[in-house]
């Protein structure tokens, strides 16, 4: 009995540690005006980037002015990062029953408790589905066997629930969204899976679990025939229709069109390390960033511009992942850290500026790092014989070797500060207004 207990406890701790490592995040958009609460979930299946990117944009680019919107953008974060439908099996088939030794047990139990929260009124589970759903067979790509561009309900009505007329709500939502979708093939159709009538697969899903616990729940499927940004755009159209139906008022930072969604997905890749003493804008970043100061023997401490970014320790380097995409590798150089400095003084195009460590400063022609007594300045990619510290020197774009830049265009460079052999932090200088030097074309991997 003792041995069995110890093994069981060890197994539980192992499962719990796994859940902590790949825990999802819950973001609550609250407002001063009371109203309904919408729960939006993305990433239950890690190979459906339209859903989890739309959920991420809902966090970073929307402000709620009435009611509340709760967002879980990365429910199956491990599968998202590892570009798998389900590293440990399909998580969306684990809601009818799950073994305690399943590595995702803690995650499933946690999302169940959020679903059952008394404040939650409607739940949306975002998916990317094959082809284009149609009630009647048209061809291999269009028919009842497909899922894309559909709004999923498990049954027509849910008795005793405020938003229990699922079929009526679905009809209103699809009509509203379709008014904004000009291409008729891209418009949404309602798919009722009739789950209670013996649909064994759908009985295991998150939305049906919600239904059984008295919650109005819908699945939204964008077509896998589209690129990621198209799918995210259509997901946002449907989410906005639900918010309008519920009377949830909102503002967003971007005009909702496909180009803007693509731009946000492509470029919202910013990473800060160690209490923001280092900052990396990773738009068009190089495949490897060498000699990145790190604390040896300590887990990396980072914050990111969106919840789909992860930094994975691969022993010899750190792999920066953004959803399904590998962004870059950070090759470490280990130092002790010093926290005695918060900012440095720069002369930027003749104007004196106090710049916090971890910030980025735009430079037109040249910059000078003003003298720092007791500290050493190292401008990565710049060398001048006889200078141990590179302060007090006017530096122009042509003075720095392009291959040492953060970005492939040779515009962003690191200015690092040290106190003796201890690293204090860095500032990025941005020469983006400088013309690009002639170079061989660089192939940039497409997102997802």
The CATH code of the domain that includes 104 is 3.40.630.10
Q: For residue 441, is it within any domain?
A: no
Give the pairing type, strands 366-369 and 343-348.
Answer: antiparallel
The verdict on 378 and 291 lying in the same domain is yes
- The Cα–Cα gap between 407 and 180 comes to 37
How many residues does the structure list for the chain? 448
Residue 9: the pLDDT is 32
> What's the total number of domains in the chain?
2
The pTM score is 0.90
- The Cα–Cα gap between 31 and 447 comes to 33
Angle made by CA atoms 263, 266, 267, in degrees to the nearest 5: 80
Q: Which of 341, 418, 345 is nearest to 377 (CA)?
A: 418
The verdict on 334 and 401 lying in the same domain is yes
The verdict on 228 and 303 lying in the same domain is no
For the segment 137-191, what is each residue's pLDDT rounded down to a tens digit?
999 999 999 999 999 999 999 999 999 999 999 999 999 999 999 999 999 999 9
The verdict on 221 and 109 lying in the same domain is yes
Range of the domain at 38: 2-265
Q: For residue 444, is it within any domain?
A: no
Residue 41: the pLDDT is 98
- The Cα–Cα gap between 179 and 139 comes to 25
**C-alpha 47, offset from chain centre:** 14
The verdict on 386 and 313 lying in the same domain is yes
Q: How far is CA 12 from CA 22, 75, 106, in A?
A: 16, 20, 10
The verdict on 405 and 278 lying in the same domain is yes
Sequence-distant contacts of 193-201: CB under 8 A, at least 24 apart: 193/152, 193/153, 193/154, 194/154, 194/155, 195/154, 195/155, 196/154, 196/155, 201/93
Which stretches in the chain have pLDDT values below 50?
1-17, 435-448
91 CB neighbour count, 10 Å cutoff: 26
Write out the two tokens for 150. Answer: 């559909």
For the segment 387-413, what is each residue's pLDDT rounded down to a tens digit?
999 999 999 999 999 999 999 999 999
The verdict on 247 and 326 lying in the same domain is no
The verdict on 298 and 422 lying in the same domain is yes
The verdict on 261 and 333 lying in the same domain is no
Residue 12: the pLDDT is 32
Q: For residue 442, is it within any domain?
A: no
The verdict on 255 and 117 lying in the same domain is yes
- The Cα–Cα gap between 330 and 319 comes to 6
Q: For residue 356, is it within any domain?
A: yes
């Amino acid at each position: 009995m003792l041995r069995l207990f110890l093994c069981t406890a060890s197994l539980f701790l192992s499962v719990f540690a796994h859940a902590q490592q790949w825990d999802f995040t819950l973001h609550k958009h609250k407002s001063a005006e009371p109203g309904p609460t919408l729960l939006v979930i993305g990433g239950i299946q890690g190979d459906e980037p339209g859903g989890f990117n739309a959920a991420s944009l809902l966090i970073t680019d929307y402000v709620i002015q009435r009611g509340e919107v709760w967002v879980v953008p990365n429910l199956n974060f491990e599968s998202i990062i590892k570009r798998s439908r389900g590293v440990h099996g399909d998580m969306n088939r684990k809601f009818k029953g799950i073994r305690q030794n399943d590595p995702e047990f803690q995650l499933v139990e946690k999302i169940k408790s959020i679903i059952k929260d008394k404040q939650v009124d409607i739940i949306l589970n975002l998916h990317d589905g094959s082809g284009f759903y149609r009630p009647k067979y048209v061809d291999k790509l269009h028919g009842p066997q497909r899922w894309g561009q559909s709004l999923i309900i498990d049954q027509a009505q849910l008795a005793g629930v405020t938003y229990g007329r699922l079929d009526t709500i679905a009809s209103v939502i699809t009509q509203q969204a379709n008014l904004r979708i000009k291409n008729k093939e891209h418009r949404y159709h309602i798919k009722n899976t009739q789950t209670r009538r013996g649909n064994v697969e759908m009985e295991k899903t998150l939305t049906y679990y919600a239904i059984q616990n008295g919650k109005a729940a819908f699945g939204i499927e964008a077509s896998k025939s589209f690129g990621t940004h198209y799918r995210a755009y259509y997901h946002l159209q449907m989410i906005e229709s639900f918010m309008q139906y519920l009377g949830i008022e909102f503002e967003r930072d971007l005009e909702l069109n496909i180009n803007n969604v693509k731009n946000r997905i492509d470029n919202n890749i910013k990473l800060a390390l160690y209490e923001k003493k280092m900052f990396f804008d990773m738009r068009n970043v190089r495949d490897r960033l060498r000699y990145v100061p790190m604390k040896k023997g300590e887990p990396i401490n980072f914050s990111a511009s969106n919840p789909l970014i992860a930094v994975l320790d691969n022993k010899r380097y750190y792999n920066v992942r953004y959803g399904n995409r590998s962004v870059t590798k950070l090759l470490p150089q280990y130092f002790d850290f010093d926290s005695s400095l918060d900012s440095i003084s720069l002369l930027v195009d003749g104007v004196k500026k106090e710049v916090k460590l971890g910030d980025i400063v735009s430079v037109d022609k040249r910059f000078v790092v003003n003298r720092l007594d007791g500290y050493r300045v190292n401008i990565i990619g710049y060398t001048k014989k006889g200078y141990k510290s590179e302060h007090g020197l006017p530096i122009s774009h042509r003075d720095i070797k392009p291959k040492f830049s953060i970005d492939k265009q040779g515009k962003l460079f690191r200015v690092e500060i040290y106190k003796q052999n201890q690293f204090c932090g860095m500032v990025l200088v941005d020469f983006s207004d400088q013309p690009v030097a002639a170079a061989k074309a660089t192939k940039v991997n497409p997102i997802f």
